[in-house]
Structure 1
Amino acid sequence: MSGFGRQGDDYILSPEEIEQFHRDGYVTLRGVLSEEELAAIEPEFERFIRGEVAGMGRDFCDMSGPYGRKFEDFALVNAVLPRRYRPEIRDNLFERRAASISRQLIGETATLDYDQFLAKRPAKPDAVFTWHQDLGYWPTGTPEPLTATCSLALDDADSENGCLRVVPGSHRKGLRPHRPLMGEDREKSHILSVELTADDPVVELPLRRGDITVHDEMIIHGSGGNSSPDRWRRTYIAAFRTKACVDFERAIGFTHSHNDTINWETHLGALTAAD
């Protein structure tokens, strides 16, 4: 044995993989879950993607379109915080292995911040995830904002069905201005986007089923639509941040839910003024 890879509930990274994450803002890990292990988590994933979980409000939406789009017209099916709506999925094997990976990348206090199910339907070229930095969606005044976002491929992912694309090293160049994609605010849609420049190198990250990518909170990333006539691109996300960061988010009422009503930007401003 090499000493790296799957080991029970853990997935052990090599020094080179840890170095790449911090240098480039992302790393690709192969075979994080086996075929048998994937099959055990798919039924609950599919319940969400079929729209069978009630009471989610805006946490179930099309991540490439407006909130008002009918489910049958969704291109990029998005279910945020599934473990809130189906507690039965908590502490599954992917969560445990993602936690192990995150502790190695961002420290021993790595805490699950949010989870998310995404699925690009076949023959949906508009199932585009616009270029963005995750921190553009989140409070920027949090302590220790380091993030390890683990994205598990439930299907082979490539350029045809819209695999992840990143701008390596962009995490070291600061937070770019983000704008709502539809309208002047995010009342119509959750989507934010940034502009790329001619100097931004774009790298595609094709995956096999069971592989994951891990990226940090500042890397610019996105993905194209699904032009495959019959292949889905399904992704299970578990994002970890430091405990101090998660505790601060919850203290100001920020949970990553699209149903949150707190204006956390204003709230943060008030906190800063009071300090």
Structure 2
Amino acid sequence: MNQTDYGRQGDDYIVSPEQKALYQEHGYITLRNVLTGEELNDIEQEFDHFISGSVPDMGRDFCDMSGPYDRKFEDFALVNAMLPTKYEPALQGNIYEKLSASIAKQLIGDDATLDYDQFLAKRPARPDAKFTLHQDLGYWPTGTPDTITATCSLAVDDANSENGCLYVIPGSHQQGLRVHKPVHGKDRESSHILGVALLDGETLVELPLNKGDITVHNELILHGSGGNRSETSWRRTYITAFRSKACVEFERQIGFTHSHNDKVNWATHLGALK
């Protein structure tokens, strides 16, 4: 294939062999100019409807991902809306969902299935809007047929050091799953947030993005993000995560949907929480 055969092709985004190799080696890749400004305008309207707290009956699916569940909305720093297509079915099949599905199928297999989606927004002037260093697999049940995952994160705004862009430890996915501990309180009932400590010798690499770019990372890469030090700029991110069909079916069988309202027996289906 010619170089022009890679990148955006209608509702698909064709990943190059070099990008696939980097994904395997480093645990993540960055893809540029995946969505147009016009396509982002349509997404932003729905995004802001959720992030403003205008969608009713979300329970814990609308929360602050940098604080405890009982934090009041006006005090949220990292505004989180889980499963937006569940609460607004008209969002299903949007252009970003199609493009990220195309990418995931090329990276993890043709049966890549949308497992969950998520809207995240860091308010301006909130240096506490941090996403603790973690591995995604640390949040999820064990015993699945496989763990392979491709999580796509769309930059709805430019993301940089000032407003808290994603950072990763390249290659850390090759070292296995670490023990994760609750950041607030003693268990996941008081806060959904889990984290791990940065070890000596580990270096964080920031992944700045332009609006419309995407990062893709796997289930074991260590990653997080800093707070938002910008006085005026939001940092908004639209996440879609894909796993194998068998994995998603297993999760649903045990009552796990990635909703913060799930009632899962963590004593039976324990992740890396200790």
TM-score by length of 1: 0.96
> Structure 1's 104 and 119: CA in aligned 2 closer, same or farther, altered over 3 A?
same
Match of 2:15 in 1: 13
Match of 1:272 in 2: none
Match of 1:31 in 2: 33
Q: CA deviation at 1:183?
A: 1.4
Counterparts of 1:83-232 in structure 2 under 5 Å?
83-232=85-234
Distance 2:24 2:245 in 1: 19
Structure 1 regions of 5+ residues with no counterpart? 270-275
Counterpart residue type for residue 224 of structure 2? G
Across the aligned residues of Structure 1 and Structure 2, the Cα RMSD in angstroms comes to: 1.2
Distance 1:146 1:267 in 2: 17
Distance 1:11 1:265 in 2: 40
Distance 1:266 1:118 in 2: 29
> Structure 1's 96 and 265: CA in aligned 2 closer, same or farther, altered over 3 A?
farther
- Alignment identity in percent? 68
Q: CA deviation at 1:141?
A: 1.6
Give the count of matched residue pairs. Answer: 269
Q: CA deviation at 1:140?
A: 2.1
Distance 1:265 1:47 in 2: 36
Structure 2 regions of 5+ residues with no counterpart? none
1:253 and 2:255 matched: yes
Once the two structures are superposed, residues 182-232 of structure 1 have per-residue CA deviations (whole angstroms, 9 ceiling, x without a partner) of: 111012110000011122121100000000100000000000000000000
Query: Partner of 1:2: helix, strand, or coil?
Result: helix
Counterpart residue type for residue 67 of structure 1? Y
Contact 2:61 2:259 (8 Å CA) reproduced = yes
> Structure 1's 137 and 268: CA in aligned 2 closer, same or farther, altered over 3 A?
closer
Counterpart residue type for residue 158 of structure 1? N
Contact 2:7 2:13 (8 Å CA) reproduced = yes
Distance 1:143 1:204 in 2: 32
Once the two structures are superposed, residues 122-145 of structure 1 have per-residue CA deviations (whole angstroms, 9 ceiling, x without a partner) of: 000000000000000001221121
Match of 2:268 in 1: 266
Q: CA deviation at 1:24?
A: 0.4
Distance 2:21 2:88 in 1: 36
Distance 1:210 1:82 in 2: 19
Once the two structures are superposed, residues 47-85 of structure 1 have per-residue CA deviations (whole angstroms, 9 ceiling, x without a partner) of: 001000000000000000011111111000000011110
Distance 2:76 2:83 in 1: 18
Distance 2:268 2:83 in 1: 24
Once the two structures are overlaid, the 10-residue window that deviates more, 203-212 or 192-201, is 192-201
Runs of 4+ in 1 over 4 A off after TM superposition: none
Distance 1:150 1:267 in 2: 25
Distance 2:45 2:158 in 1: 18
Match of 2:241 in 1: 239
Once the two structures are superposed, residues 78-119 of structure 1 have per-residue CA deviations (whole angstroms, 9 ceiling, x without a partner) of: 000111100010000000000000000000000000000000
